[in-house]
Amino acid sequence: MGAEKHELFSDVGRLLVYGTDEPGIVAAITDILSAAGANIISLDQHTSDPDGGRFFQRTVFSMPHLSAELPALEDKLGEALKRFRLDHSLVDASKKKRIAVMASTSDHCVLDLLWRYRRGELPVDIAMVISNHTGLDEDVRSLGIPFFHTPTAGKPREEVEARQLELLKGNVDLVVLARYMQILTEDFIEGLGAPVINIHHSFLPAFIGAAPYRKAKERGVKLVGATAHYVTKDLDEGPIIAQDVIAVSHRDTAADLQRRGADVERRVLSSAVQAHCEDRVLRDGSATIVF
Amino acid sequence: MGAEKHELFSDVGRLLVYGTDEPGIVAAITDILSAAGANIISLDQHTSDPDGGRFFQRTVFSMPHLSAELPALEDKLGEALKRFRLDHSLVDASKKKRIAVMASTSDHCVLDLLWRYRRGELPVDIAMVISNHTGLDEDVRSLGIPFFHTPTAGKPREEVEARQLELLKGNVDLVVLARYMQILTEDFIEGLGAPVINIHHSFLPAFIGAAPYRKAKERGVKLVGATAHYVTKDLDEGPIIAQDVIAVSHRDTAADLQRRGADVERRVLSSAVQAHCEDRVLRDGSATIVF
Amino acid sequence: MGAEKHELFSDVGRLLVYGTDEPGIVAAITDILSAAGANIISLDQHTSDPDGGRFFQRTVFSMPHLSAELPALEDKLGEALKRFRLDHSLVDASKKKRIAVMASTSDHCVLDLLWRYRRGELPVDIAMVISNHTGLDEDVRSLGIPFFHTPTAGKPREEVEARQLELLKGNVDLVVLARYMQILTEDFIEGLGAPVINIHHSFLPAFIGAAPYRKAKERGVKLVGATAHYVTKDLDEGPIIAQDVIAVSHRDTAADLQRRGADVERRVLSSAVQAHCEDRVLRDGSATIVF
Amino acid sequence: MGAEKHELFSDVGRLLVYGTDEPGIVAAITDILSAAGANIISLDQHTSDPDGGRFFQRTVFSMPHLSAELPALEDKLGEALKRFRLDHSLVDASKKKRIAVMASTSDHCVLDLLWRYRRGELPVDIAMVISNHTGLDEDVRSLGIPFFHTPTAGKPREEVEARQLELLKGNVDLVVLARYMQILTEDFIEGLGAPVINIHHSFLPAFIGAAPYRKAKERGVKLVGATAHYVTKDLDEGPIIAQDVIAVSHRDTAADLQRRGADVERRVLSSAVQAHCEDRVLRDGSATIVF
């Protein structure tokens, strides 16, 4: 999942196409790109099953005057892909995704995202950080990023989520739950109209729910891990984007597992956010294609 | 978990001590060993909690004329450790554990054990292989190891297990389930009087039960793995000895996961059997200490 | 690097294309495939640099009556790709690669290849095993595979290699050095006319040359590993196909490193052979593209 | 290498003993500790060779009124261990090591150490950060840690090192080179009188010297990594404390390798600093024992 340096250049586009497979799709797409003067930099294509499976393609291409040409290319692609009844998304790679980060008290995932953002590693603009606690405000604001406090204690969930939606809606392309310890309602997720990525502190589907490190210690596992996934209405069941684990032993207390797991959490979350923002991730039912 | 070459020399002993922690245990043990003329080669000690936790110690030592001196040393240790109400086990490292391997149709785990045994890597004598299928008989017998066929199809479980117990009881120090696809009854496990190690083809507690690779494909996980554990009456719940995973992707079909997971299974099982047979594993409730 | 089950079906072809990048290549290729009635199952494309870099593409496709249609398709591709001055290779995926395995005294890499072959995991036909020692003959012949003994002790290298070339030339598509401990001459490699894959028992370029585990112990590294690479005239310098490592510690003796490293060696070699035989590997100067 | 929570309690001591092995050492040490009223929490012991090898032991113990009792215990141990001609070090676990961090322009290793320090994960006091560049000053000073700028450009090395020694000498127990891109002279290292840990951005001994990521890209390796080691007068040759790698592919440019390797560097360096500061690391010639 290397960051393609070239994609950050201007005049680079990314095209995602997905739907029911049938013969001729790749040729049709590459013909349109070729006729439009695009040069393909990389192309990844996957078919879930050659007999009537699902089709997935990610194409990165360079094209002179891309931003001016994009509407025309969009039209041509739309027309051609309608014939195949395929969905697609065409983006200018120089346009960074706008993201919001939501957090509670743990700082490791938020700080890792902020640090990669500051280094220019993550191709995103962080529009805001929202937390139901104070504590992260200084770290966030010192980078010139707005911090909003939406306390949850003693408040009806609807009121809190309404306030959060007000902040987020229309302003972001992605919401990242960086150890945000509140369950979001289905209404919130639908109302948001943007994907939500969460980091779960276990190698799902092991230790679903709360307190995974304590459960891991009790069960005596020799690995702990983390899982980044899209949030759906089914808690801890959304499509998995990235997972990793580290070896642990009897020497590690539950607190050690938590401390050492934090390293995996921040790494896995940042990697999932990067993949998403480089348009590498396509959903396939309850799973994902990560090109 | 390196095999200690020195432990395979003659005149090397291994002492495991475990029980409730209290001050002075390590000193008492090492004094006895020292007074008996033993030289400690390695010592690992762990306390689950300094305030009234459980105590675990593995000591490897060299001692001239070990086999002749062992009974006297046993007496001295027994007396001393009784005072601390600790359990212990004292073994001559040159005495290999006698093991039986039980299998069904999959050959990868059995062959890996046989191969390591033939190379002299595993400090065991394989007393027999028992299978509810034929198919592995030639591979097994070509190494001079007895193969017993105990078919299960259409037979009452009690009858099959009775026949297996007849073969095993008193003849082995350890039974290894190398993808043996029958559930063993509590009666069998108790009747056996020897520990049983099983390999489960998932990173437990994920995908407990049957068909873990299919479930893994459906859930879209980015890791598959394997777990070696002691068998207890609670299926897939016994103390875990070793676990490992490998990264997989959307390109892998359920069949690929099974094929690639087989590599992890054989590695994890062999590693657990090796650790057990080098007396590195101590049970701690539902977990293990692996020194 | 999942084995694509579908590729083992009949009527599946694989096309590798490589050379200097220029616009329009992907479209040209996919057009030809599409016009020929091929349905693309997967396509991976890589460009080393969008400005005048090297172009690499692997396409897997299904096509009715493939074997009958292959010559015509070959013609069309040849013509089109000549225009781009690109090299290509077009193969019927149902045609297994014929391989020869060369070994010395260590058995772990050979046995792993034999075992995967027997399980049907490796898409190869093992035409022969050649060894400068006896010892592996029974294992090899019991699978119905010819074993040839070409002793090296006290013989001029030219004589030995001439005898080996006689056995190999024209009979195999790939030679696998499975811990064959003789250095092959440039003349042998050129005379062979088929690629040669070697397994080196270190994570190259660390510990080039002989006795890497002893050197690793002396240097006190915390990892040992293995490297599978194509053999070129420059010893241990050929393009790397696969590498892996495992963690080791001060507890491991040089003999332990060797024993534990053997697990990595066999895994890495088998994985490289599989990738090569699934036409996933393209050379890029002193490096490789592994799709 | 789990942080032992208990060790951070007051009244916990750590004893390291090392030298030539002979019978009776462990018993002698544990007797003294036991007689002094210490309760052993964990004990790790290693002998490089049972026949005249080197002896290493790390013991963690609890003892009421430790700080008051330490001088007396030190005396008793010193006397007993003199008889065995062993070296030892006895420390109060509640006394944090004072460290200095030296850096140049890269921020990832420094920030990771600062962040873990702020979280209370690293058992250290960061006495100062020294850099030959400005740029990190704000991050450092915002945590209340002194930042010193010792520019190197256009200055004689002796002058720069003299200024640095002035700042460091007597003030720190450990110097951490967190991507400090200047070679330190042997005089500096000797004059300092404290150990120095460096992070090298490759899996040593591969890619010794400058620009390892560029070399890794050219060589086409499938892994990149990092190595934390003690600094000796032989550049890149000091005893290795920790190493790790990640898989990379042809998709990764040299810049990607650098970016992705940075994650490994910070993880490996922090882990080595933690191990050192928990008194887990003993030097054994050109290698280390990490308990």
d(Cα A87, Cα A75) in Å, to the nearest integer? 13
| C202 at interface of D, judged by CB pairs closer than 8 A | no
Q: Which of A236, A252, A263, A279 is catalytic?
A: A236
Choose among A42, A142, A255: nearest Cβ to D5. A255
Question: Nearest CA to CA, how far is A34 from chain C (Å)?
Answer: 5
Q: State pLDDT tens for residues C95-108.
A: 999 999 999 999 99
Q: State pLDDT tens for residues C167-178.
A: 999 999 999 999
State chain A's mean pLDDT as an integer: 94
Choose among D111, D249, D267: nearest Cβ to A115. D111
**What positions of B carry a catalytic annotation?**
236
What is the DSSP pairing of strand B223-230 with strand B196-200?
antiparallel
Q: Which of A163, A170, A107 is nearest to A140 (CA)?
A: A107
Neighbours of chain C (3+ CB pairs under 8 A): A, B, D
Q: Let me know the angle formed at the C-alpha of C100 by C96 and C102, rounded to the nearest 5 degrees.
A: 150
Q: Which of B91, D241, D50, D26 is nearest to C253 (CA)?
A: D50
| D115 at interface of A, judged by CB pairs closer than 8 A | yes
Choose among C5, C142, C255: nearest Cβ to B5. C255
Cα dist from C221 to B65, D203, D221, D241, D243, whole Å: 37, 9, 18, 8, 8
Question: Nearest CA to CA, how far is B192 from chain C (Å)?
Answer: 32
| B121 at interface of C, judged by CB pairs closer than 8 A | yes
Is the pLDDT score of C8 beyond 60? no
Q: Report pLDDT for C9.
A: 62
Q: What is the mean pLDDT of residues A47-70?
A: 92
Listed range (A165-169, B252-256, B278-282, C129-133) with the worst mean pLDDT: B252-256
In this structure, the number of other CB atoms found within 10 A of the CB of residue D11 comes to 17
Q: State pLDDT tens for residues D241-255.
A: 999 999 999 999 999
Q: State pLDDT tens for residues D143-194.
A: 999 999 999 999 999 999 999 999 999 999 999 999 999 999 999 999 999 9
Phi, psi (deg, nearest 5) at residue B241: -100, -45
Q: Report pLDDT for B87.
A: 95
- For B70, half-sphere exposure in the C-beta direction (CA atoms, 13 angstrom radius) is 18
Interhelix angle A25-35/A66-84, nearest 10 degrees:
150
Q: State pLDDT tens for residues D28-45.
A: 999 999 999 999 999 999
Q: Report pLDDT for C6.
A: 41
Q: Name the pLDDT band for D88 (thresholds 50, 70, 90).
A: very high
What are the residues whose beta carbons fall under 8 Å from the beta carbon of C75, sequence distance 6 or more?
Answer: none
Map tokens 């790109």 to a residue. Answer: A33
Contacts of residue A207 in chain B, CB cutoff 8 Å?
205
d(Cα C92, Cα C278) in Å, to the nearest integer? 11
CB C133 within 8 A of CB C180: no
- For C76, half-sphere exposure in the C-beta direction (CA atoms, 13 angstrom radius) is 16
Q: Report pLDDT for A185.
A: 95
State chain C's mean pLDDT as an integer: 94
What are the residues whose beta carbons fall under 8 Å from the beta carbon of B272, sequence distance 6 or more?
Answer: B197, B199, B228, B229, B241, B242, B281
- For chain B (length 291 residues), average pLDDT per consecutive 10? 48 96 92 93 91 93 94 94 93 96 97 95 96 96 97 95 97 98 95 97 93 95 97 92 97 93 97 98 96 96
**Interchain pair A30, C34: CB under 8 A:** no
- For D136, the token pair is 């990190």
Q: Name the pLDDT band for C234 (thresholds 50, 70, 90).
A: confident
Q: Report pLDDT for A49.
A: 86
Q: Report pLDDT for D9.
A: 62
Domain residue spans of chain A:
5-92, 97-290
**N-term to C-term CA, chain C:** 7
What is the DSSP pairing of strand B147-149 with strand C97-103?
unpaired
Question: Nearest CA to CA, how far is A255 from chain D (Å)?
Answer: 8
Choose among A23, A41, A42: nearest Cβ to C39. A23
Q: Report pLDDT for B206.
A: 94
Is the pLDDT score of A5 beyond 60? no
Q: What is the mean pLDDT of residues C14-38?
A: 94
Q: Residue B149 is which amino acid?
A: H
Q: Report pLDDT for D51.
A: 81
In this structure, the number of other CB atoms found within 10 A of the CB of residue D91 comes to 15
Beta strands in chain D (DSSP E): 12-20, 39-47, 54-62, 87-92, 97-103, 124-131, 147-149, 174-177, 196-200, 223-230, 240-247, 281-284, 287-290
Beta strands in chain C (DSSP E): 12-20, 39-47, 54-62, 87-92, 97-103, 124-131, 147-149, 174-177, 196-200, 223-230, 240-247, 281-284, 287-290
Q: Report pLDDT for C236.
A: 87
Q: Report pLDDT for B236.
A: 87
- For D113, the token pair is 């150490």
Q: State pLDDT tens for residues A172-227.
A: 999 999 999 999 999 999 999 999 999 999 999 999 989 999 999 999 999 999 99
In this structure, the number of other CB atoms found within 10 A of the CB of residue D244 comes to 20
| C48 at interface of A, judged by CB pairs closer than 8 A | no
Q: State pLDDT tens for residues A124-142.
A: 999 999 999 999 999 999 9
What are the residues whose beta carbons fall under 8 Å from the beta carbon of A102, sequence distance 6 or more?
Answer: A129, A130, A131, A164, A175, A176, A177, A178, A180
Q: Which of D198, D114, D128, D139 is nearest to D165 (CA)?
A: D128
Q: What is the mean pLDDT of residues A26-47?
A: 94
Is the pLDDT score of C7 beyond 50? no
| D278 at interface of A, judged by CB pairs closer than 8 A | no
- For A20, the token pair is 């029911």
Q: Which of B43, B143, B253 to mutate to test the interface with C (most CBs of C within 10 A)?
A: B253
**Interchain pair C50, A39: CB under 8 A:** yes
State chain D's mean pLDDT as an integer: 94
Query: Which residue did the predictor score with more confidence, B263 or A1?
Result: B263
| B268 at interface of A, judged by CB pairs closer than 8 A | no
**Interchain pair D242, C249: CB under 8 A:** no
Beta strands in chain B (DSSP E): 12-20, 39-47, 54-62, 87-92, 97-103, 124-131, 147-149, 174-177, 196-200, 223-230, 240-247, 281-284, 287-290
Q: Which of C26, C58, C59, C62 to mutate to test the interface with A (most CBs of A within 10 A)?
A: C26
**Interchain pair A62, C47: CB under 8 A:** no
Q: Which residue of C has its CA nearest to B251?
A: C2
3-state secondary structure of A37: coil
Q: Which residue of A has its CA nearest to D267?
A: A263
3-state secondary structure of D282: strand
Q: Report pLDDT for A9.
A: 63
Query: Which residue did the predictor score with more confidence, A9 or C244?
Result: C244
Q: Which of B60, B117, B259, B270 to mutate to test the interface with C (most CBs of C within 10 A)?
A: B259
Question: Nearest CA to CA, how far is B48 from chain A (Å)?
Answer: 8
Neighbours of chain B (3+ CB pairs under 8 A): A, C, D
Q: State pLDDT tens for residues C267-289.
A: 999 999 999 999 999 999 999 99
Q: Name the pLDDT band for C240 (thresholds 50, 70, 90).
A: very high
**CATH number, domain C5-92:** 3.30.70.260
**Interchain pair C203, D244: CB under 8 A:** no
**CATH number, domain B97-290:** 3.40.50.170
Q: What is the mean pLDDT of residues D253-272?
A: 95
Q: Which of A210, B284, A111, B51 is nearest to D5 (CA)?
A: B51
Contacts of residue C221 in chain D, CB cutoff 8 Å?
203-205, 240, 243
Cα dist from B259 to B115, B224, D93, whole Å: 19, 11, 49
Q: Report pLDDT for C168.
A: 98
Q: Report pLDDT for D234.
A: 87
Q: State pLDDT tens for residues B169-202.
A: 999 999 999 999 999 999 999 999 999 999 999 9
Annotated catalytic residue C236? yes
CB C200 within 8 A of CB C268: no
Are C5-92 and C97-290 in the same CATH fold?
no
Q: Report pLDDT for A236.
A: 87
